[in-house]
Amino acid sequence: MFALKAPAKINWFLEILGKRGDGYHEIVSLMQCVALYDSLTLEHAEEIEVLTDTNIPLDVNLVYRAAMLLKEKTLTSSGARITLKKEIPLAAGLGGGSSDAASTLIGLNSLWDLNLTQKELGVIGQGLGSDVPFFFHGPVAIVEGRGDVISPAKLGSSCTLVLAKPPISVSSGWAYGQTDIMGQNVLTKNDNFIKIFCRALEEGDFSLLAGMQKNSLEAPVVKRYPIIGEIKRGLEEKGAVFSSMSGSGPTVFGVFNSEGEAVKAAEYLSSQWCRVVRTITNDQII
């Protein structure tokens, strides 16, 4: 039996650079894992079984799809019983399903003695979702292309966040479809921008980060779902140095100077799903 923890992620920034010929969008993003986890246990079984506390249909359950895809790619006759306990909310912009898929591939690689490399697992994971490859290279990385070009980054400084998710779901496809990159000032194409951003994050220079932070998806999503903007303002009124939507939303994260301030802000937003978490650094074991 293998037990794994699948972490959530946030996007410190997310810039859409254009539309690709394959229908996906070209992006650049700095992603980091946070200490909010789904739990998976994997054990031998005759067939692929997924036991979970959610009502996700098997045909769209990324844990089941990951197991079946790995079985197909490796031509193994093995099965597995996978038990998934969710703590990361569904359709939240926190990468929960993608993290679960990556952890499933990692766990089954060990359970079935497949001896695939991280790179090989990442290629398989890419077929399951654009965020999946990141979780083979976390906890911090620059993500480019359609999400498949990963450059691990190093951060030794952790910070306190409040995650808040309103009771709505945002379609990633819809959100990306709303973006219009014409006329944008794409600062994140510049490697120097990324270096400055990472250094400011390492040094805790949140005032600088507040001016640099951007999520290309945020404006159209907030326009359709004003509650996301309300949560952002609420976090900042309660002491967040800055706040941003993660991924395609609807979860918002606020950055706080202290855990005490974060806890008070979370209490203020208790009508929403809310958690106080810390970012995961390179010297921490996920």
pLDDT, tens digit, 9 for 90 and up, residues 23-64: 778 889 999 999 999 999 999 999 999 999 888 888 889 999
| Active-site option among 100, 131, 232, 238 | 131
CB atoms within 10 A of CB 182: 6
pLDDT of residue 183: 42
Is 9 catalytic? The answer is yes
pLDDT of residue 141: 94
Phi, psi torsion values for 135, nearest 5 degrees = -70, -5
Q: What is the mean pLDDT of residues 126-145?
A: 92
Under the banding of pLDDT at 50, 70 and 90, the label for residue 171 is confident
Q: Is 205 helix (H, G, I), strand (E, B) or coil?
A: coil
Report CA-CA distances (Å) from 217 to 136, 153, 178, 245.
24, 23, 8, 8
Report CA-CA distances (Å) from 206 to 91, 139, 202, 235.
28, 20, 10, 15
pLDDT, tens digit, 9 for 90 and up, residues 86-109: 999 999 999 999 999 999 999 999
* Across 17-26, 35-44, 131-140, 185-194, least confident range: 185-194
Q: Note the pTM of the prediction, 2 decimals.
A: 0.93
Is 131 catalytic? The answer is yes
Q: 62, 97 in Cβ contact below 8 A?
A: yes
* Across 27-31, 200-204, 261-265, least confident range: 200-204
* Across 46-60, 106-120, 219-233, least confident range: 46-60
Identify the structural domains of the chain with CATH numbers, from first to last.
2-152 (3.30.230.10), 160-278 (3.30.70.890)
Helix (H) or strand (E) holding 5, with range, is: strand 2-19
Under the banding of pLDDT at 50, 70 and 90, the label for residue 285 is low
CB atoms within 10 A of CB 257: 14
pLDDT of residue 243: 96
pLDDT of residue 26: 85
Mean pLDDT, all residues of the chain: 91
Helix (H) or strand (E) holding 124, with range, is: helix 118-126
pLDDT of residue 278: 97
Which DSSP string corresponds to 144-203?
EETTTEEEE-------EEEEEE-S----HHHHHHH---TT---GGGSHHHHHHHHHHHHH
